[in-house]
């Protein structure tokens, strides 16, 4: 009876049990029997697991690594408030996935990674990949053009559940309105839209921050005034709202980064050795921007020059400490709000300055096969 216990349980209960297990354990469960393998591949299981999945990190360590792509998960820390402990052991290395070594990770939605070649000025190879299910699709090359700035955004519509890749680019060096193209996964086609509303805007050359069914980019008008451009993935319309107030006038795209922390939009300023993290407490309400963290890097000479790129927050611990990553740069660090100290985090127990890019990643068992007409490959 004990050996055949699961045979007498309803499928929904088995799904509920298995979906609570760690990723590596679930992958092992697929090998137990054919029925479990089929169950883990089902859409019901994918939805149940995703509802409980905890965000971690997807990393690209650089072309010098034999297997440069890695997924990290946070160590289970119920009730943990001791700063030294959670700084010294923040992550478990969950697993590695053997994807083409030239594919950089740029964004993630529901366990699906948007990946492409490093050279964003000539993005010839575009992929949507699920490292857990080990399958991916190659998207059609966007039409060729000459441009100065180029940015992608990947997200999902709140109403229809369609996954869309958005491409915004400027076709020449003059300050002219940008152009926009949208690729809805499963259609096989890029569609042209009108971007920039109103007037010419310069978009940051970064992937858009996805939250609340919208993609967001930091933009500037011809006078250098910054605002946030918002693209609704359902209506495919652009709108805008103000960036945080009282920011240094000298701030520009080389010192700012939009990101998402939990369910809130964040903006990180990097200016004169200081990282300021703003959070929008109420989505869409310009008056709700709040300055949450001020990290003074110049007080930590050993870190000066190491963490000098775009930054974004990953996790706020119960004791108020915050884990921060450098988006296109070498590493991770933990900042203590109480002590005002910075400590480098190295999940691989080696020098992590070869990190090329890092994105927040929520593991899932969603299959790219759900996009129908797309050609699915395995790795």
Contacts of 195 by beta carbon, 8 Å cutoff, 6+ apart: 168, 177, 178, 179, 180, 201, 203, 238
At 1 the pLDDT is: 41
Q: Which residue has the tokens 């499928």?
A: 11
Other Cβ atoms within 10 Å of 122 Cβ, number: 10
How far, in Å, are 53, 79, 87, 222, 362 from residue 318 at the CA level? 19, 8, 13, 43, 20
For residue 350, the Cα-to-chain-centroid distance in whole angstroms is: 24
Mind listing the domains of the chain with CATH numbers? 1-52 (no CATH), 53-378 (2.120.10.30)
What DSSP assignment string belongs to 184-245? ETTT--EEEEE--SSS--EEPSSPPEEETTEEEEEEE-TT--EEEEEEETTT--EEEEEPPS
| Average pLDDT over all residues of the chain | 79
Q: Check if the beta carbon of residue 289 is closer than 8 Å to that of residue 245.
A: yes
Q: What is the mean pLDDT of residues 239-254?
A: 73
Which residue is listed with tokens 């921007």?
A: 289
Distance CA 219, CA 241 (A): 10
Residue 343: the pLDDT is 78
Surface-to-core class of residue 107, CB atoms within 10 Å of its CB (0-12 exposed, 13-18 middle, 19+ buried): buried
Q: Mind listing the pLDDT tens digit for each residue in 93-146?
A: 566 666 776 788 889 999 999 998 765 555 568 899 999 998 999 998 776 655
Which of 97-106, 263-272, 296-305, 327-336 comes out lowest in average pLDDT? 296-305
pLDDT higher at 344 or 230 = 230
C-alpha span between 139 and 189 (Å, rounded): 9
Q: What is the mean pLDDT of residues 76-81?
A: 46
- Three-state secondary structure call for residue 365: coil
Measure the CA–CA gap between 60 and 116, rounded to whole angstroms: 12
For residue range 139-186, what is the model confidence (pLDDT) as tens digits? Answer: 987 766 555 567 899 999 999 999 999 988 776 555 567 788 999 999
pLDDT at residue 194 tops 80 = no
For residues 190-204, average pLDDT: 69
Phi first, then psi, for residue 15 (nearest 5°) are -60, -45
What is the pLDDT confidence band of residue 76, given thresholds at 50, 70 and 90? low
Of the CA atoms within 13 Å of residue 213, those in its CB half-sphere come to: 13
User: Which tens digit of pLDDT belongs to each residue from 32-45?
Assistant: 888 888 989 999 99
Of the ranges 120-129, 347-356, 363-372, which one carries the lowest mean pLDDT score?
347-356
Choose among 169, 160, 156: nearest CA to 210.
Answer: 156
pLDDT at 306 over 60: no
20-72 pLDDT, tens digit per residue, is: 888 888 888 888 888 888 989 999 999 999 999 988 888 887 766 777 788 88
């Amino acid at each position: 009876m004990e050996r055949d216990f699961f045979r007498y349980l309803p499928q929904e209960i088995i799904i509920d049990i298995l979906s609570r297990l760690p990723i590596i354990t679930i992958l092992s469960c697929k090998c137990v029997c054919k029925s479990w393998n089929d169950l883990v591949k089902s859409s019901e299981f994918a939805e149940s697991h995703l509802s409980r999945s905890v965000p971690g990190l997807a990393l690209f360590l650089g072309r010098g690594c034999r297997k440069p792509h890695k997924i990290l998960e946070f160590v289970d820390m119920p009730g943990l408030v001791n700063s030294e402990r959670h700084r010294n052991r923040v992550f478990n290395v969950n697993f590695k996935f053997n994807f083409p070594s030239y594919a950089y990770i740029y964004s993630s939605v529901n366990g699906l990674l948007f990946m492409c070649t490093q050279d964003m000025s000539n993005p010839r190879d575009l992929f949507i990949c699920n490292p857990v299910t080990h399958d991916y699709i190659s998207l059609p090359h966007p039409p060729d053009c000459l441009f100065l700035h180029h940015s992608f955004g990947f997200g999902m519509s709140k109403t229809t559940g369609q996954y869309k890749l958005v491409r915004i680019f400027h076709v020449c060096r003059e300050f002219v309105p940008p152009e926009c193209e949208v690729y809805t996964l499963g259609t096989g086609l890029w569609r042209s839209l009108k971007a920039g509303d109103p007037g010419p805007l310069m978009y940051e050359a970064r992937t858009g921050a996805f939250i609340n069914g919208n993609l967001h980019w930091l933009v500037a008008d011809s006078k250098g005034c910054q605002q946030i451009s918002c693209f609704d993935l359902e209506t495919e319309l652009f709108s805008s709202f103000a960036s945080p107030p009282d920011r240094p006038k000298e701030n520009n795209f080389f010192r700012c980064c939009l990101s998402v922390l939990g369910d809130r939009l964040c903006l990180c300023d990097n200016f004169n050795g200081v990282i300021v993290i703003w959070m929008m407490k109420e989505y869409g309400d310009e008056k709700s921007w709040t300055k949450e963290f001020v990290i003074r890097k110049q007080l930590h000479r050993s870190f000066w020059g190491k963490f000098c790129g775009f930054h974004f927050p990953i996790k706020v611990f119960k004791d108020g400490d915050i884990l921060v990553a450098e988006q296109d740069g070498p590493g991770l660090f933990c900042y203590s709000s109480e002590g005002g100290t910075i400590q480098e985090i190295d999940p691989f127990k080696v020098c992590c300055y070869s990190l090329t890019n890092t994105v927040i990643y929520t593991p899932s068992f969603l299959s790219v096969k759900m996009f129908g007409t797309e050609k699915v490959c395995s790795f």
